[in-house]
Amino acid sequence: MKVFASISAAFLLLNMYSVGATLLEETCKNLTSPPIGPARGFDFEFCKTSLQVAPGSEKADAIGLTIIAANIALVNFTHNKAKATELLQDKNLSKQIRRILTECQSIYSEDAVDLKKAIDALKSGKFDRMEDVINHLGKAADDVLACRDGWEFSGQKSLMPKEEENAEKLSELALAVASLLPSPPSPGPSFFGF
Ligand SMILES: *[C@@H]1O[C@H](CO)[C@@H](O)[C@H](O)[C@H]1NC(C)=O
Ligand SMILES: *[C@@H]1O[C@H](CO)[C@@H](O)[C@H](O)[C@H]1NC(C)=O
Ligand SMILES: CC(=O)N[C@H]1CO[C@H](CO)[C@@H](O)[C@@H]1O
């Protein structure tokens, strides 16, 4: 009886592992190498550990996993906006630093709205809105880069480099996960635009 119970427990665990981990791991595996995702590919462990922390990620389907990825990016953008706001309280910031930080703050703020729109479109389950999803996620990823470039081009050290790096990687991850979604049924152009 005891043996039986532990055998079933082991089976249950195995099952949960293979059923649960498959889509998430397969997704991350597919994103590890080009051409899908950024040219250099994602680090598999980064992809897996980022997505895995979200409750439900083990059992999520492709759309669900994309919602999770977008939501993780949204949490970080919201956090970064708050961080920028906090840093701007410092009255002693140079004019240049204040300008860049203000720009980054509005980027995080605006793009949080884009990320929410992407999530809403995904939740609607309508394939004709997939182009919107890709556009919103792509805008968020591009804008973080613009914020990082703002520091670099002015020869300034970012006041929140770690947060910016996270937001960059997480928004790229969300975009990449979305780009694995099946194309909308024809007629109509593929949402990749090629
Ligand atoms: C991963 O890539 C393989 C081979 O291209 C493909 O058959 C599979 O559907 C992809 N899986 C996901 C989750 O994108
Ligand atoms: C702000 O700068 C002034 C002048 O450089 C300095 O006296 C003051 O201590 C600084 N305040 C803070 C909070 O760093
Ligand atoms: C992966 C990652 O960097 N996640 C961060 C997102 O933002 C929250 C704060 O809101 C951090 O706790 C996470 O570490």
Task: Tell whether 43 is covered by a domain.
Answer: no
The answer to whether 157 touches 77, Cβ cutoff 8 Å, is: no
CATH number of the domain encompassing residue 88: 1.20.140.40
Ligand 2 centroid–CA 92 distance in Å is 6
Task: Please report which ligand is nearest the Cα atom of 92.
Answer: 2
3-state SS, 9-29, equals: HHHHHHHHHHHHHHHHHHHHH
Task: Tell whether 143 is covered by a domain.
Answer: yes
Cβ count near 42 (within 10 Å): 23
Which ligand 1 atom is nearest residue 26's CA? 13
Q: What is the pLDDT along the chain (194 residues), one digit of tens a residue?
A: 444 444 444 444 444 444 445 799 999 988 887 655 555 567 889 999 999 999 999 889 999 999 999 999 999 999 999 999 999 999 999 999 999 999 999 999 999 999 999 999 999 877 677 888 999 999 999 999 999 999 999 999 999 999 999 999 999 999 999 988 876 654 444 444 43
Which protein residues touch ligand 3 with a CB less than 6 Å away? 50, 75-76, 79, 166, 170
Its pTM stands at 0.80
Which protein residues touch ligand 1 with a CB less than 6 Å away? 23, 26-27, 30, 180
Q: Could you give the CA distance from residue 46 to residue 95 in angstroms, rounded to a whole number? A: 36
Number of domains present in the structure of the chain: 1
Task: Tell whether 4 is covered by a domain.
Answer: no
- Domain range spanning residue 132? 78-181
Q: Take atom 7 of ligand 3 and give the residue whose Cα is closest.
A: 76
Length of the chain: 194
Which tokens hold the place of 174?
A: 């969300």
Task: Tell whether 30 is covered by a domain.
Answer: no
Task: Tell whether 193 is covered by a domain.
Answer: no
